[in-house]
Chain A
Amino acid sequence: EAQVTQNPRYLITVTGKKLTVTCSQNMNHEYMSWYRQDPGLGLRQIYYSMNVEVTDKGDVPEGYKVSRKEKRNFPLILESPSPNQTSLYFCASSTWGPPTDTQYFGPGTRLTVL
């Protein structure tokens, strides 16, 4: 089954404790990205990757890191989480560019930073 998986699905942590949210896709997609979704602000892109070892900042990259060592995996790293990073996070993948621009989203990770 074609899918994007994220782990963990739920996480409560404390300020400053490094964490990693994993993302994996089995569709051989070149493009992967991370979004955060907050009430009233919609989905905002954090980072994206156009292929292995190629990453770039989205609209809200501060406080986050990513890596793309393998095509299928795109982990999101919070080196020192803060309460303003409490949010719902989605990983997404797609083929690169038109005609197929469909983003396939993972199920989401609900993160609470105390």
Chain B
Amino acid sequence: RKEVEQDPGPFNVPEGATVAFNCTYSNSASQSFFWYRQDCRKEPKLLMSVYSSGNEDGRFTAQLNRASQYISLLIRDSKLSDSATYLCVVKAKIGANNLFFGTGTRLTVIP
């Protein structure tokens, strides 16, 4: 079983739509959770960390459900510039810094 699983998509949505991605993780002892954004052929960049209480950054909201072992990312009022691949990332081990990446969910926002 993979450490982190995501629906690969693609998600094709019109501008202004609200879209949500989920991601599940297998290790219940996982410590930290993140969403990264990756544009085509570019390096991943941190979008936001995910906290137990949930957190919001502008149009982006991330939530963590430890009981069900999933994290979510909600994007409101989608913009063309939101088109990218969104990577779910989990830090699984205490005392180590290795991260596990999902394969990514591809989002295309259509005019």
Contact = CB atoms under 8 A, between A and B. Distances in A.
Interface of A: 31, 33, 35, 40-45, 48, 50, 58-59, 88, 90, 94, 96-98, 101-103, 105-108
B102 A94 contact: no
Interface of B: 4, 8, 31-32, 34, 36, 41-46, 49, 87, 91, 97-99, 101-104
Contacts of A101: 32, 34, 49, 91, 97, 99
Given A98-B32, A101-B49, A31 B97 contact: yes
B25 to A, nearest CB: 13
Contact of B97 (A42, A59, A96, A105): A96
B101 A107 contact: no
B7 to A, nearest CB: 13
A29 to B, nearest CB: 11
13 contacts: A40-B103, A42-B87, A42-B103, A43-B44, A43-B87, A44-B101, A58-B98, A94-B97, A101-B34, A101-B49, A101-B97, A108-B41, A108-B42
